[in-house]
Amino acid sequence: MGLFQKFANFLGVRKREVNVLVVGLNNSGKTTVVNRFKSEEERVTDIVPTVGFSVEKFQNKNLSFTAFDMSGHGRYRDLWEHYYKDCHGIVFVIDSSDRLRLVVVKEELDLLLQHPDVCNRKLPILFFANKMDSKEALSSVKIAAGLGLDKIIDKPWHISSSNALTGEGLQEGVEWLTQQIRDMILSKT
Amino acid sequence: MSSFKRDKKEEEDGVGNIFQNIEKTTVLQEARVFNETSVNPRKCTLILTKLLYLLNQGEALNVKEATDVFFAMTKLFQSKDVVLRRMVYLGIKELSSTADDVIIVTSSLTKDMTGKEDIYRAAAIRALCSITDATMLQAIERYMKQAIVDRNSAVSSAALVSSLHMTKMAPEVVKRWVNEAQEAINSDNVMVQYHALGLLYHIRKSDRLAVTKLIAKLTRTTLKSPYAVCMLIRIIAKLLEEEDSGNDFPYFDFIESCLRHKSEMVVYEAAHAIVNLKRTTSKELAPAVSVLQLFCGSPKATLRFAAVRTLNQVAISHPAAVTACNLDLENLITDSNRSIATLAITTLLKTGAESSVDRLMKQIASFVSEISDEFKVVVVQAIRALALKFPRKHNTLMNFLSAMLRDEGGLEYKASIADTIITIIEDNPEAKESGLAHLCEFIEDCEHVSLAVRILHLLGREGPKTKQPSRYIRFIYNRVILECPSIRAAAVSAMAQFGASCPDLLENIQVLLARCQMDSDDEVRDRATYYSSILSKNDKNLYNNFILDTLQVSIPGLERSLKEYTQNSTNQPFDIKSVPLQVGPSPDEREKKHKSEGMLTSQGPLRPPPVSREENFAEKLSAIPGIQQLGPIFKSSDVVELTESETEYFVRCIKHCFAHHVVLQFDCLNTLPDQLLEDVRVELEPSEGFELLSVIPCKQLHYNETNHTYAILKFPDDDLPSCVGTFGAVLKFIVKDCDPTTGIPDSEEGYNDEYILEDLEITLGDQIQRVSKVNWGAAWETAAESSVEKEDTYSLSSMNTLDEAVKNIVQFLGLQPAERTDKVPEGKSTHTLLLSGVFRGGIDILVRAKLALADGVTMQLTVRSPDDSIAELITSSVG
Ligand SMILES: Nc1nc2c(ncn2[C@@H]2O[C@H](COP(=O)(O)OP(=O)(O)O)[C@@H](O)[C@H]2O)c(=O)[nH]1
Ligand SMILES: [Mg+2]
């Protein structure tokens, strides 16, 4: 990075671009979450199941986020790995009312953590225990325990309960992520 | 050659192609920047351009390379740069067939196709359809329907055309979009209307009634788009051609009325359709021809070209109508566009009188050096047609051809001239001597080795039959002194032919061959030694078998047999009889070759020597258990249809004959969308003596799919008369009803069903392979001593002409006509047809049929064959 660029960053003149990957099982609310992050005029009203992936952009603080919103259907989960290498953070969305599939979530998470493009990096991971409004919803603590999050020691992680329909809990999570990524970038430069 | 030219041109222009030296590995390496967090659109666009350039040059990526670069490319969706995004669409289309998991971009593309950015939408649709397979189509159906009726014409057109492409993959789904296509046909935009008609027709084209309804509706409204009207004319013309409807079919009038359309394109299309329709009467033809005539005088070169090309095409079928345009065509001879001039002259040649030939040939000579090889070939073909029509003009034409031979020109052009000279020589005995003389002169200075070799071969075959064979020896021997090894070898073989056929030249030939045995090349020395030793034996029989009519096996077949032989360790000597034979061209093939002549059709790049049908089948059949042991295929019959073509199940049969067996290959097509067939096989009721060895069923037959089932039978032993017969046949199978859209069966349970097929005949022709004899007379003479002869006389009362009789005999016996005796000279009342072939098992057959015209045709048939019963079988099966 050139000296001028460094200077510019420091002064916050130009927004720094970062990539995040949004993953999780299908129907967990990933697309709805990302939609919430966008400015009001850019939001869509009609959310359809994602086929493959979709690229969305949003801002938080002085970071400009490019989110790769991946499809969570079985057929596409193997394709997440194509996007691990170059991301600065991961958003992992869980449907906290879907108790039945919590084991599947754990399986996918473990695969992700063991992947060569992920395991040796200090990538921040933000978990959303989404659909907290639902009656059957498990608490974020129960979910963290169910997924064995305490075993993740080489990466910063954070879990927030959220309701993507109202936006509740989302801001707190994304602020944590922004901070983590900024720290990471600063320590590198 | 062409690339060489291009390079040279660029050198002259001083601008190189900046993409010239790029390499695949480098570009793939560079493409890694696509993965970077912030995208540099300019840089990425350039890299994508290089990648597309490479792919379009024919560079192939393997699956991993393609998948890697594809996924890297998907990350470029984060850039909003318009140019880059459109390059990404192109990249997606280009890689969609090689990379894995391309459906990953589905959501990104549907977003673009429904988004606000108009420039993205049409291209996104095209890319989307290239990555969508039948299983994913449902997911995008809603968007496609919307896009077809979109107000933006580019979007609507893209959706219509993409739908058309997708009918190949999922016809049933696309059929459901018919209402949207109907709506689009009312569009004000000329392209949308045209594309909508294209799609509608495509969806309905197999349903006659629906097409008729569509035409009825559209001919009543006024289509705004001239493209759509042209398409409508083509649809109607096609229907008229199939219909055999006579004149009561009302839509001919519509085409007629289009001759008065305000768009020239439509007027031309109508005229073109009318002159090409078989049913057009001369009265109906007149207005169409006047339109073409008018176009001949148009200031627009495209119109003149279109008109003269159409006239050229129909010159043979409607000579009178075309002659009416002679004056206009004459004017076009001097057209500055040489393509137009060439077509004008060749059209005039086709229809002109004998008296105008000399003048027209002079005209062509004046500019022949200015036209491209492609058009020169058209001229040569016109000359060939002319020579066959006016045999007396052979001198003028030969001189012209030999002048063309001496000019500059590529191999294809030169070969077409040589071919024409050879055809003329074969057709017209009077032209033989001068034709051979021209060819002799040509090989004195011929840069094309393959052509020189062919001509030497011809000299060897034809030279000995001329009045003064000795004059050719000098030309041939000169080649031995001056040329490269392959030409020298050909010259040696040609000389040997003279030695074998002309006793008075034998001594001289032996002297020349002795000199050739000192040659520096192995092949030349070997041939000289071989021929010299045979010629020294003074044995007619040896001459025939080893010089005049040599090996008749197919060369690729021989190669394959020898390879197999060397791979199997066996003490048995190699059996030359086990090698498939070199088959003479079928009457159909020759017909086809002549039909395309005089048309401007590209022959494409030089193809490798054709593989026979038998060899093609051999590869496929060898995978089937039980067939390998039968030996090589002796002959594969033409396709026989066992059902009408528009039935539920369409079954055709090819009979593969082996030395002692026959394998029946049934090609079955399932035309019912709601049925999956399993265990499909044909149950046969063979005639007496045939033994059914095994049946290989076809496991599954999906809708719209052709698959094969086989039956292996053994011919009756030692009982030739029973080897021809008629079999009953029934198609048997298990039906599983299924969902027409997905093809998935409703349940695992199926039920047995059957379908009666037409009887299948095993004929004599199935068991005889046409093999040509170079020197039929010599073979016939030798056979007098070594073979059995059978003779009988027949009265062919249903034949009215000698020509008709000849055609029928050739077809019935499946033998190869020799010495062009299948052509009956005009005005003769007697004719002798000479035929040769081989019966399965490798037994030679020679047939002479003497025909006389007298209240029907009388035929005296003489058969010579080493096998008594085969000769008998032939004489008895004719009666
Ligand atoms: N009740 C509730 N429903 C939600 C919430 N988030 C998303 N959904 C719904 O869950 C469904 C799936 O959402 P989507 O964003 O398409 O999930 P994705 O497959 O992970 O992208 C949609 O019907 C959303 O409206 C939430 O917090 N609470
Ligand atoms: Mg989604």
Residue range B84-111: average pLDDT?
93
Q: How confident is the model at residue B666 (pLDDT cuts 50, 70, 90)?
A: very high
Q: State how far residue B66 is from chain A, nearest Cα, in angstroms.
A: 13
pLDDT at B612: 64
Q: Tens of pLDDT along B224-266?
A: 999 999 999 999 998 888 766 555 567 888 999 999 999 999 9
CB count within 10 Å of CB A143 equals 21
Q: Going by DSSP bridges, is the β-strand pair A89-95/B691-696 parallel, antiparallel, or unpaired?
A: unpaired
Residue range B390-408: average pLDDT?
83
> Is residue B146 less than 8 Å (CB to CB) from chain A?
no
> Is residue B143 less than 8 Å (CB to CB) from chain A?
no
Cα(A118) to centroid(ligand 1), Å? 27
Rounded distance, CA B488 to CA B456, Å?
10
pLDDT at B2: 40
pLDDT over 70, % of chain B = 93
Q: Tens of pLDDT along B493-536?
A: 999 999 988 889 999 999 999 999 999 999 999 999 999 999 99
Q: What's the ipTM?
A: 0.88
Kind and range of the H or E run holding A36: helix A30-37
Average pLDDT, chain B: 85
Burial B805-821 (b: 16+ CB within 10 A, else e): bbeebbeebbbbbbbeb
Q: How confident is the model at residue B336 (pLDDT cuts 50, 70, 90)?
A: confident
Q: DSSP per residue over B85-127, as a string?
A: HHHHHHHHHHHTTTSS-GGGGHHHHHHHHHSS-HHHHHHHHHH
pLDDT at B292: 93
Q: Could you tell me the two tokens for B538?
A: 């003074």
CB A67 within 8 A of CB A20: yes
Among protein residues, the one with the nearest Cα to ligand 1's atom 24 is A29
Q: DSSP per residue over A79-103, as a string?
A: TGGGGTTT-SEEEEEEETT--TTHH
Q: State how far residue B79 is from chain A, nearest Cα, in angstroms.
A: 9
pLDDT at residue B296 is higher than 60: yes
Cα(B102) to centroid(ligand 2), Å? 18
Closest to B385 measured CA to CA, from B422, B341, B344, B420: B420
Burial B686-718 (b: 16+ CB within 10 A, else e): bbebbeeeebbebeebebeeebbbbbbbbbbee
- Give the distance, in angstroms, between the CA of residue A162 and the centroid of all CA atoms in the same chain: 13
Residue range B366-377: average pLDDT?
77
Residue range B796-807: average pLDDT?
86
pLDDT at residue A179 is higher than 60: yes
> Is residue A51 less than 8 Å (CB to CB) from chain B?
yes
pLDDT at B515: 92
Cα(B1) to centroid(ligand 2), Å? 54
Q: Could you tell me the two tokens for A143?
A: 């979910």
Q: Tens of pLDDT along A15-30?
A: 788 999 999 999 999 9
Q: Could you tell me the two tokens for A45?
A: 């009203």
Asked if A52 lies within 8 A of B108 by C-beta distance, the reply is yes
SS3 at position B441: helix
Asked if B108 lies within 8 A of A88 by C-beta distance, the reply is no
Asked if A51 lies within 8 A of B74 by C-beta distance, the reply is no
| Position in ligand 1 atom list of the atom nearest CA A32 | 15
> Is residue A42 less than 8 Å (CB to CB) from chain B?
no
On chain A, the residues whose CB falls within 8 A of the CB of B71 are 79, 82-83
Annotated binding site of A: 24-31, 50, 72, 130-133
Rounded to two decimals, what is the model's pTM? 0.64
CB count within 10 Å of CB B399 equals 13
Q: Tens of pLDDT along B117-143?
A: 889 999 999 999 999 988 888 888 999
pLDDT at B611: 55
pLDDT at B3: 41
> Is residue B79 less than 8 Å (CB to CB) from chain A?
no
Q: How confident is the model at residue B75 (pLDDT cuts 50, 70, 90)?
A: very high
CB A71 within 8 A of CB A50: yes
On chain A, the residues whose CB falls within 8 A of the CB of B101 are 79
Q: Tens of pLDDT along B543-592?
A: 887 888 777 777 877 887 788 788 777 778 887 777 777 766 655 555 44
Q: Tens of pLDDT along B180-229?
A: 999 999 999 999 999 999 999 999 988 888 888 899 999 888 899 999 99
